[in-house]
Structure 1
Amino acid sequence: MKHTLCFFSLFFSLAMFSQQEDAWVYFKDKPNAQVFLNNPLQVLTQRALDRRANQNIALNTTDAPLETSYVDQVKTSAGITIMAKSKWMNALHIRGTQSSIAALTANSFVDKVVYANRNLNASSTKFTVSPVEKKNVTAKVKIDYPYGNGANQIQMLNGQVLHQQNFTGDGKVIAVLDAGFPGVNTAQPFQNLINNNRILGGYDFVARSDNFYTGNNHGTLVLSTMGGYKENALIGTAPNASYYLFITEDVVNENPVEESYWVEAAEKADSLGVDIITSSLGYFSFDNPNYSHIYGDMNGSTNFISRGAEIAFSKGIIVVASAGNEGNSSEPHIGAPADAVSVITVGAVSASKVKAGFSSIGPTSDNRIKPDVMAQGAPSAVSNTAGTITTSNGTSFSCPIMAGMIACLWQAHPSKTNQEIRQMILQSSDRYTNPDNNYGYGIPNFGNALGVQSFENTATFTVHPNPAKTSISFSFSDLNSPASVIIYSVLGQKVLEQQVTLENQDVSIQALKSGLYFYSFDADGLHKTGKIIKQ
């Protein structure tokens, strides 16, 4: 009996070490980074450099490519397959046996190996992962066929005001990260994009193919909410923006490598100079339950894809993500990358502005408000691959509807940073002063009242000194009644609220820590927002 048990133990051990595992191998450095920093146009386009320059963002080693010699050594290691690469993370997504992966740590250039299976990471806490309903965004889209159009989903956001002023996304570039784009090159609602060369390119990161007009139709539906143009049927929120189309979602298998494909695509988008990334994809559970995330991972800093989204934001890109369609499930919380701090996470409401039951909720596991904002997703008007205008339900569509309006707003305010645009959107939302984890900050208003003209400076309104050490004075010559001043952190948290009058226009910021803040000034007939710097 003892020998039988020993044989079983040995058999189990050999089986474990022969099983294929997914992991990330992180490198210690980039020894040739300075070569890139001396000539960044080798890797980044001029548009990517201009976006950084316009927002005072300096190049750093995360912009430099991976060390080729390191990649080659991993590539030639026995039993290892490289699935994806990330210069931002200085890492490779690899697949191999546990023993083959473990052997990589013997290389002096390897910093660490992190397994997708948390139970194989020696330093990680062991969690019991309960079975969770598989979260596959594309599979949960419900298609209906009554005739509809996109009027309400734009007017709900007061986006028609931007369009009426010819802010339709022209000059802004959006990268769409999704599951496939069949029919985009042939269906009539996309001909405005095709004929005007507004599809700038794309790539299938799953199949490693230049053919991106293929795959699942989910991306086609998503793109139509922004770039579709069929008179009297569907006009998208950013019909004159330009687009890159990237396939990162494998609809056959649910595996952590999709997060790595997403980061690869985000890095490519950055290098091409895109302004906005929109992604109606979310990750929580995987086919292998040992790879699945838990709610505790949804803190904005644990998941590979969420860390990638945050780096994208640090490069001056606005990242927009769907909240998810799990609001009615046993695990109703948002997934990744919707949990990332700077991502604009979009939930779904009905045409009458009522939260859709399926729309995933917050908070993040570190107790931040999510989603950030809401748009129509129950249902949304879309075009299918044949060019027929129909409707679909899901945060998959409220997300790009929002992304398109953001492109129009940024076109109207080209000198604003991505952080400033993000803050403008939050502050324009109808629940900004009383957010919750169902609606976030609410439904933004992209129109005259809060979206365009009210953000412009007038001669009668001043904020000084700025930067300031002890106090800020809010001066308005026609102030006949008290005005409310609210100061927010860069994360949108209220840190100070005070009334000002003609007799007392000063607001003390003595108690605030040094850094960047945003203010909201509200008086009778006047709304102003802006940023202040506490020295």
Structure 2
Amino acid sequence: MRIERKMLAALLFIATLLSVSGQFYGAPIHTQVIVYEPVEQPYSPSWDSDLNRIHDDLDKKLRDMSFGDSVNVIAKGASIELLEAAAADYNCEVSSRYPAINAIALQIDKHLIDDFSKDVRIHHLEDADLEMKTFLDSSLDVTEIPEAYANYPYHGEGMVIAIVDTGIDNSHMDLDDDDPYNDHKVIAFRDVINGNDDFSLPIDAYDDQGHGTHCASIAAGTGEASSGQYRGVAYASQLVGVKVLSGEGSGTEQQILDGMQWVIDNKDVYGIDIVSMSLGSNSATPSDGTDSLCQMADAMMDAGLLLFVAAGNHGYPEWLYGYNTIGSPAASEKAVTIGSVNDDGSWSSFSNEGPTGDDRIKPDVMAVGADVTAAKADSTNQYVAYSGTSMATPTAAGIGALLRQANPSLNPSQLKDVLQDTAMDMGDPGKDNTYGSGIIQTKQALDVVTGGIDNPPTVSIEAPLDQSTVSDTYRILVAASDDNSVTSVELAIDGTWIDITANYDGTHYYYDWDTTTYSEGLHTISARATDDASQTAETTIEVTVSNEGPIDNPPTCVIADPTEGETITGTHRILVSASDDNGINAIEVRIDGGSWIDITGNFDGAYYYYDFDSTTVDDGTHGIEARAIDTISQATSDTISVTVENEIVQNAMFIADIEVSSWSFWIFTYCEVEVTIVAGTPSDYVGLSGATVNLETTSPLGSTKSYSDTTDSSGVAYFDIGWISSGTWVFKVIDVTHADYTYDPSLNINGDTVEVDL
């Protein structure tokens, strides 16, 4: 196995991380007019230890600079006008303006910094070039997204999500304009890094790193390339790409602020409802929410934009991941800060924990961010699995789009409260610094924002059956239900309605129909149910009235297994379904028109059966016939054709071995699986290269995950399962394909499944 080499590489990577400190890492409404008014705040931030109005990160940078050097800074003050006047007095050119937070970006000589910071028009200074990086290191069940789809008609229709990241590759099938829900998937692209903006449809966006594409796919991808398997949460929504990170996955604080201000300024132009930001900072000291990025995040929420930001990927242990602190903009007081859980709901060890620098609880809520599969940039139709709060954040953003679609009257603060109030509490009771308020529960959140859905009632006629024959006085049985209450049930025979609400036996509503008062022949029976919201449901069947004598219909007979045209091998159990209104006398089967075989005594409670040994006949097409005989010798038969194939397939391939290896460190387990595919026969085979192996894993809690790899020259396919929880895991090969060989599971040496306690 290669797992030892992977552990060595991981330790070398950790050593590299430990040599770097203070890094930034990256991770993902409605119309109103915003008036920006200066608000003077008390000055005691956690990030300015000497209170000299210069951020500690900038102070540290200045100490390493020479006298004649210049530096790019973010200056924050009471108003843009006062800041611009101060910049002019120091002969500094303003490069960016941020009216949302009353700040500007400018370049200034180092020797002027001290005087500039003491100017009464300056509140504080930050490093405009401070590096930001992606939080790059699924699953929908734990966040109730399938339940939401099942109960509500919301998939992001009419919603626009801004992805502030490395860009979006909208040539991928899941993100292109061949979209069943919209004429255009990406409707605008702002490129802060390279200036390659595109605001004219169709949009030509790009992503030279891949992180943003992955996030966009999680939030809103159509899943077209996977036939829906890997579609995004709000898959019917549209996207705006805002590229603020480079091809290396990093950007400066000024670039991030430029992108955020652009979103605020253009939210009404493009109808932006949701913003996803999977990026941020990581330092030894947590942010207190008063730095420019956090303030800009607050301003986005105030502007009517529901903003989701990543908590960070530097959780526990710190020697492995970095500083386990809440950085910026994750410390924003108003934005929704997202942490990561695994598929089973357990905390992802890389997910950052609070509190903030001013002792507020963060993160706010959690979503799945571990091993999430989504679109791979520059691939057109391929996928890749990543882990991180980067992945949890667009998941939450997609959920936010569903809530906003369901009730556009709620503002971002109200929607944040709903997400927290309906979250599934985890960890310590109440909101805590590991799980926040808990795991987002999408269906419960939709229940709150919609006031709960009221579905129409259901109704069905249980007896008699459609197209059956009735006589004498026949009791008609009707089943009706509603998610709130059924107020009335009615029955109509040939169009005349009768209220039968009071006729209820505890299971069915009923009506005793005297068929002798009706003519012989065909009649209609209709049933209608009404609920407390006056919603109705109706169904109709046809029956034949016959009172001229006792009715004895012929029996029914259907071969349920195998199906028409199916290929069978070895001993195959033939299943026959048969019934009669008076009783079955005999069930028989025969092969290729031979002698009838009585299988009346072979009944498993659902089917009559016969174990057919197909090795007793030649390979090729054969007929199977079954017949049912009732008590008055009426018979009904069913015939199908099947293909018998018992000879070993030429160029057959099969599984020789499935080997699971694991490496444990403390409470963590790293797992890898090797599957060996061979060609030949079980007694004489060789390793086969170029075979595509599809593997499915099942966790101790029952969640499943699919993987795919191609065998190497020795016939081995390698699967890096990664860090997993302890317990019983099941690894099953679902399929094997090859251009020149056919997979024959009957030749597998030890089967296709391995169960291991890890």
- TM-score under structure 1 length normalisation: 0.62
- Aligned position for 1:34: none
Residues 89 and 17 of structure 1: is their aligned pair in 2 closer, same or farther, counting only changes over 3 Å? farther
- Name whichever structure is richer in helix by fraction: 1
2:186 corresponds to which of 196, 199, 204: 199
Q: CA deviation at 1:415?
A: 2.0
Letter of the 2:265 partner, please give it.
K
User: Which range moves more in the overlay, 345-354 or 259-268?
Assistant: 259-268
CA RMSD of aligned residues (A): 3.4
1:268 aligns to 2:265 (yes or no): yes
1:310 aligns to 2:307 (yes or no): no
What is the CA–CA distance in structure 1 between the aligned matches of 2:425 and 2:357, rounded to whole Å?
A: 22
- Aligned position for 1:18: 68
What is the identity percentage for the equivalent residue pairs of Structure 1 and Structure 2? 21
- Aligned position for 1:377: 369
Residues 96 and 368 of structure 1: is their aligned pair in 2 closer, same or farther, counting only changes over 3 Å? same
- Aligned position for 2:140: 154
User: Which range moves more in the overlay, 417-426 or 218-227?
Assistant: 417-426
Q: CA deviation at 1:168?
A: 0.8
Letter of the 2:213 partner, please give it.
T
User: Which range moves more in the overlay, 325-334 or 398-407?
Assistant: 325-334
Check conservation: 1:180, 1:213, Cα contact below 8 A: yes
1:299 corresponds to which of 285, 288, 308: 288
Residues 218 and 425 of structure 1: is their aligned pair in 2 closer, same or farther, counting only changes over 3 Å? same
What is the CA–CA distance in structure 2 between the aligned matches of 1:90 and 1:450, rounded to whole Å?
A: 35
Secondary structure of 1:312's counterpart equals helix
Deviation track 1:340-365 (CA, whole Å, cap 9, x = no partner) reads: 11211111111111111111111112
Q: CA deviation at 1:396?
A: 0.4
What is the CA–CA distance in structure 1 between the aligned matches of 2:188 and 2:397, rounded to whole Å?
A: 19
What is the CA–CA distance in structure 2 between the aligned matches of 1:458 and 1:248, rounded to whole Å?
A: 40
Q: CA deviation at 1:264?
A: 2.4
What is the CA–CA distance in structure 2 between the aligned matches of 1:98 and 1:383, rounded to whole Å?
A: 45
1:173 aligns to 2:160 (yes or no): yes
Q: CA deviation at 1:227?
A: 1.6
Letter of the 1:187 partner, please give it.
H
Secondary structure of 2:279's counterpart equals coil
- Aligned position for 2:419: 425
- The within-5 A match list for 1:10-409 is 16-26=66-76, 28-29=78-79, 74=87, 78=91, 80-99=92-111, 111-112=121-122, 114-116=124-126, 136-137=133-134, 140-141=136-137, 153-164=139-150, 165-181=152-168, 183-184=169-170, 186-191=171-176, 196-210=183-197, 212-229=205-222, 230=224, 231-250=227-246, 252=248, 255-272=252-269, 273-285=271-283, 295-296=285-286, 298-301=287-290, 303-328=291-316, 329=318, 330-385=322-377, 386=379, 387-409=381-403
What is the CA–CA distance in structure 2 between the aligned matches of 1:438 and 1:239, rounded to whole Å?
A: 29
Residues 13 and 283 of structure 1: is their aligned pair in 2 closer, same or farther, counting only changes over 3 Å? closer
- The within-5 A match list for 1:486-497 is none
What is the CA–CA distance in structure 1 between the aligned matches of 2:431 and 2:172, rounded to whole Å?
A: 40
User: Which range moves more in the overlay, 371-380 or 20-29?
Assistant: 20-29
Deviation track 1:311-365 (CA, whole Å, cap 9, x = no partner) reads: 1111222110111100032520121111111211111111111111111111112
Secondary structure of 1:136's counterpart equals strand
Secondary structure of 1:443's counterpart equals coil
What is the CA–CA distance in structure 2 between the aligned matches of 1:364 and 1:70, rounded to whole Å?
A: 29
Q: CA deviation at 1:174?
A: 1.3
What is the CA–CA distance in structure 1 between the aligned matches of 2:212 and 2:341, rounded to whole Å?
A: 21
Secondary structure of 2:66's counterpart equals helix
Residues 371 and 103 of structure 1: is their aligned pair in 2 closer, same or farther, counting only changes over 3 Å? closer
Letter of the 1:276 partner, please give it.
I
Q: CA deviation at 1:453?
A: 6.2
Q: CA deviation at 1:308?
A: 0.5
Q: CA deviation at 1:233?
A: 2.8
What is the CA–CA distance in structure 2 between the aligned matches of 1:375 and 1:23, rounded to whole Å?
A: 35
Check conservation: 1:347, 1:439, Cα contact below 8 A: yes
Secondary structure of 1:203's counterpart equals strand
Check conservation: 1:204, 1:248, Cα contact below 8 A: yes
What is the CA–CA distance in structure 2 between the aligned matches of 1:331 and 1:263, rounded to whole Å?
A: 25
Secondary structure of 1:96's counterpart equals strand
Secondary structure of 2:257's counterpart equals helix
Q: How many residues align?
A: 370
Q: CA deviation at 1:410?
A: 1.5
What is the CA–CA distance in structure 2 between the aligned matches of 1:242 and 1:402, rounded to whole Å?
A: 16
- Aligned position for 1:415: 409
Secondary structure of 2:339's counterpart equals strand
What is the CA–CA distance in structure 1 between the aligned matches of 2:449 and 2:416, rounded to whole Å?
A: 16
Q: CA deviation at 1:234?
A: 1.1
- Name whichever structure is richer in strand by fraction: 2
What is the CA–CA distance in structure 2 between the aligned matches of 1:324 and 1:70, rounded to whole Å?
A: 32
Residues 205 and 365 of structure 1: is their aligned pair in 2 closer, same or farther, counting only changes over 3 Å? same
Check conservation: 2:373, 2:386, Cα contact below 8 A: yes
Residues 271 and 357 of structure 1: is their aligned pair in 2 closer, same or farther, counting only changes over 3 Å? same
Question: Which structure would you say has the larger RCO, counting Cα contacts within 8 Å and 6 or more residues apart?
Answer: 1
- TM-score under structure 2 length normalisation: 0.45
- Aligned position for 1:510: none
Q: Which runs of 5+ in 1 are unaligned?
A: 1-11, 30-65, 119-131, 142-149, 286-293, 460-535
Secondary structure of 2:67's counterpart equals helix
What is the CA–CA distance in structure 2 between the aligned matches of 1:284 and 1:112, rounded to whole Å?
A: 26
Letter of the 1:299 partner, please give it.
D
What is the CA–CA distance in structure 2 between the aligned matches of 1:271 and 1:17, rounded to whole Å?
A: 46
Greater Rg by CA? 2
Check conservation: 1:179, 1:250, Cα contact below 8 A: yes
What is the CA–CA distance in structure 2 between the aligned matches of 1:237 and 1:13, rounded to whole Å?
A: 47
Secondary structure of 1:409's counterpart equals helix
Q: CA deviation at 1:76?
A: 10
